[in-house]
């Protein structure tokens, strides 16, 4: 697998006789450096851009779980610049330059392994003339100055989902520059072929950033940075396979302090706090489960069975635990009842049925389950019972309607 190198715009400086025609950038000497890998993603958000006091230096050294003695730094004359890379990768700083405005430009490289955590490099250098790092102005503690009381710097990604879509036309469904409401996220999730549930989001406090890669390639996120004006830039590279379609990554971040993404203003949240709506109905979060087989006593002659299960006895009457090699199935947690209601669709035929949930909504006491169903290719005569098993919050639901491929297929009453 090959990777596309990130593009770095370079301005050539010409300086002579003390006259600057463009910008003169001087290489900085790195007096000492330390690097490492941390497996805890949450700690990355606590990294400063630079350290200019002994107190902060001790705190950073402890945060990074360094076991050796704290190195001596003369903070009257020196500072520590901090660089980090995503994933369990070893970072390396190729070059440091200081321009005539006092900005330090850090050119970093790293390996490209996926997984939790981050790599870091700490650089000791002379502090004379340094006013900012990568365009981010520093305060007395070496933190990045920000507007509105929100510090500029790296934005923590709370959760992420990625995938590949074969139809280029579906790329246009994504709003620019970010998803700001649950209805749009649910629609996009289904259109791009996600079979799992949509995790609930509080769009009063969160945003979902959309990052694309051309062709059947995955975007690899390096950093999400917010500047002092509240603008967010996502730094990413991608693999280089040719072909139709596109790859995407959906990044959930806190919206506090974010005014724009890649220079485009973000829309205000649409729903009321704590309420996500779709066509006047409240969107209900759900979780999908697998690793179960359908028992033979479950109306086995019916082409389709619709279930609303309120307790464990009802569930066990219809489903059994399937034996699976190297089992990684997602099964119902213990004591899921009575706080959750399990709804299920069972389709019988000569092919395995594939499902994709479009939306689950609630109006008054009626739950509406909308989904897509499609039979997988099959040339055999064997029969299959294919279940879609979902759980939703139980409170107040008395009836469940099922809509398959845009057509109503029936309902199920909730019986205790």
| Same-domain check for residues 383 and 298 | yes
pLDDT at 34 over 60: yes
* Cβ–Cβ < 8 Å for 249, 235: no
Residue 224 in this model has a pLDDT that exceeds 80:
yes
Alpha carbon of 384 to those of 80, 219, 273, 316, 378: distances in Å?
63, 37, 44, 19, 11
In a domain? residue 8: no
* Whole-number Å distance between alpha carbons of 412 and 398: 9
Do 79 and 45 belong together in one domain? yes
Report residue 180's pLDDT band, with 50, 70 and 90 as the boundaries.
confident
> 407 and 324: one domain?
yes
Domain boundary among 247, 269, 291: 269
The whole-number pLDDT of residue 396 equals: 85
Residue 258: domain span:
160-269
Residue bearing the bigger pLDDT, 350 or 196: 350
**Is 297 found in the same domain as 259?**
no
CA–CA separation, 8 vs 60, rounded Å? Answer: 29
Could you tell me if 123 and 107 are in contact, meaning their C-beta atoms sit under 8 angstroms apart? no
Tell me what the mean pLDDT of segment 171-197 comes to: 78
pLDDT score, position 59: 92
Backbone dihedral angles phi then psi of residue 57, each to the nearest 5 degrees: -65, -45
pLDDT for residue 222 is more than 90: no
The whole-number pLDDT of residue 397 equals 93
Structure tokens at 128: 């004379």
Return the percentage of the chain with pLDDT > 70, whole number. Answer: 82
What is the pLDDT, as a whole number, of residue 70? 94
Give CA–CA dist 76/91, Å, rounded: 28
Instruction: Report the Cα 371 to chain-centroid distance in Å.
Output: 24
Q: Assign 58 to helix, strand or coil.
A: helix
Question: Alpha carbon 87 to chain centroid distance?
Answer: 14
390 in a structural domain? yes
**The predicted structure's pLDDT at residue 285:** 80
5 in any annotated domain: no
306 and 264 together in one domain: no
Residues 289 and 399 occupy one common structural domain: yes
DSSP-assigned states of every residue in 107-164: EEEE----SS-EEEEEEEEE-TT--EETTEEB-TTSPBP-GGGPPPEEPP--EEEEEE
Cα 136 from Cα 102, distance rounded (Å): 11
Boundary of a domain, candidates 211, 236, 269: 269
Task: Compute the chain's Rg from CA coordinates.
Answer: 27
- For residue range 266-305, what is the model confidence (pLDDT) as tens digits? 877 654 444 455 566 788 888 889 999 999 877 778 999 9
Residue 156 sits at φ, ψ, to 5 deg, of -75, 130
Please compute, for residue 386, the number of CA atoms within 13 A of its CA located in the half-sphere on the CB side.
17
pLDDT band at residue 147 using 50, 70 and 90 as cut-offs: very low
- Owner of token pair 């635990």: 321
225 contacts 235 by C-beta, under 8 angstroms: yes
Mean pLDDT over residues 158-175, rounded?
86
* C-alpha torsion 275→278→284→289, nearest 10: -140
> If you average pLDDT over each of 4-13, 180-189, 251-260, 347-356, which comes out highest?
347-356
Work out the average pLDDT over 392-404: 91
Q: Per DSSP, what are the bridge partners of residue 351?
A: none
Q: Are residues 140 and 180 in the same domain?
A: no
- Indicate if 83 and 128 belong to the same structural domain: yes
Instruction: Examine the domain organization and report whether 86 and 124 are in the same domain.
Output: yes
* Percent of the chain with pLDDT strictly greater than 90: 28
Structure tokens belonging to residue 263: 């220079």
Domain-embedded: residue 6: no
Report yes or no on 237 lying in a domain: yes
Cross-strand partners of 124: 32, 80
pLDDT above 80 (res 144): no
Task: Tell me: do 119 and 164 sit in the same domain.
Answer: no
What is the per-residue pLDDT across 313-372, written as a single tens digit (0 to 9) for each? 999 999 999 887 778 888 898 889 988 999 999 999 999 999 998 888 888 899 999 999
Alpha-carbon distances, residue 204 vs 189, 227, 255 (angstroms):
20, 21, 8
What DSSP character marks residue 3?
B
The band of 4, judged by pLDDT with boundaries at 50, 70 and 90, is very low
Q: Give SS3 for 217.
A: coil
Q: Does pLDDT of 261 surpass 80?
A: yes
| Interior/surface letters 175-197, b for 16+ CB within 10 angstroms, e for the rest | bebbbbbbbbbbbbbbebebeeb
Helices (H) and strands (E) in the chain, counts: 3, 32
C-beta separation of 60 from 81 below 8 A: no
Mean of per-residue pLDDT scores for the chain: 81
DSSP H or E segment with residue 226: strand 219-226
* Of 28-42, 135-149, 153-167, the least confident: 135-149
**Strand 281-283 versus strand 132-133 pairing type:** unpaired
One domain for residues 26 and 134: yes
The verdict on residue 10 lying in a domain is: no
Q: Is residue 109 part of a domain?
A: yes
pLDDT, residue 398, reads 94
Of 92, 121, 145, which marks where a domain is finished?
A: 145
Q: What total of structural domains would you count in the chain? A: 3
| 378 part of a folded domain | yes
If asked whether residues 141 and 165 sit together in one domain, one would say: no
Nearest in space to 276 (alpha carbons), one of 414, 179, 405: 179
Q: Which residue has the higher pLDDT, 229 or 37?
A: 37
């Amino acid at each position: 697998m090959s990777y596309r190198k990130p593009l770095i715009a370079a301005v050539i400086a010409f300086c002579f006789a003390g006259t600057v025609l463009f910008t003169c950038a001087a290489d900085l000497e790195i007096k000492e450096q330390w690097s490492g890998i941390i497996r805890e993603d949450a700690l990355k958000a606590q990294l400063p851009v630079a350290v200019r006091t002994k107190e902060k230096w001790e705190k950073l050294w402890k945060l990074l779980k360094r076991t050796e003695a704290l190195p001596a730094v003369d903070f009257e004359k020196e500072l520590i610049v901090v660089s980090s890379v995503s994933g369990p990768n070893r970072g390396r700083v190729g070059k440091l330059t200081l321009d005539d405005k006092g900005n330090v430009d850090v050119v970093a490289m790293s390996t490209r392994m996926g997984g939790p955590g981050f790599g870091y490099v700490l650089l000791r250098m002379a502090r004379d003339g340094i006013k900012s790092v990568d365009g981010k102005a520093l305060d007395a503690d070496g933190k990045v100055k920000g507007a509105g009381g929100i510090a500029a710097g790296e934005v923590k990604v709370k959760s992420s989902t990625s995938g590949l879509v074969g139809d280029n036309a579906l790329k246009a469904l994504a709003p620019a520059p970010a998803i700001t409401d649950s209805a749009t996220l649910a629609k996009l999730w289904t259109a791009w072929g996600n079979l799992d549930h949509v995790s609930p989001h509080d769009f009063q406090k969160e945003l979902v950033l959309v990052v694309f890669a051309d062709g059947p390639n995955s975007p690899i996120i390096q950093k999400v940075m917010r500047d002092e004006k509240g603008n967010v830039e996502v730094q990413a590279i991608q693999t280089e396979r040719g072909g139709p379609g596109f790859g995407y990554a959906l990044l959930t971040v806190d919206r506090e302090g974010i005014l724009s993404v890649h220079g485009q203003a973000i829309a205000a949240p649409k729903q009321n706090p704590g309420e996500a709506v779709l066509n006047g109905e409240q969107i209900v979060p759900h979780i999908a489960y697998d690793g179960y087989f359908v028992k033979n006593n479950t109306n086995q002659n019916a082409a389709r069975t619709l279930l609303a299960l309120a307790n464990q006895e009802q569930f066990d009457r219809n489903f059994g635990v399937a034996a699976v090699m190297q089992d990684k199935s997602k099964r119902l947690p213990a004591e899921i009842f009575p706080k959750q209601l399990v709804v299920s669709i069972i389709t019988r035929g000569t092919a395995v049925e594939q499902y994709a949930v479009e939306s689950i909504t609630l109006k008054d006491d009626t739950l509406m389950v909308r989904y897509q169903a499609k039979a997988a290719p099959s040339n055999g005569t064997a029969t299959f019972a294919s279940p879609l098993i979902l759980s939703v919050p139980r409170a107040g639901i008395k009836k469940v309607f099922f809509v398959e491929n845009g057509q109503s297929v029936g309902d199920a009453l909730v019986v205790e």
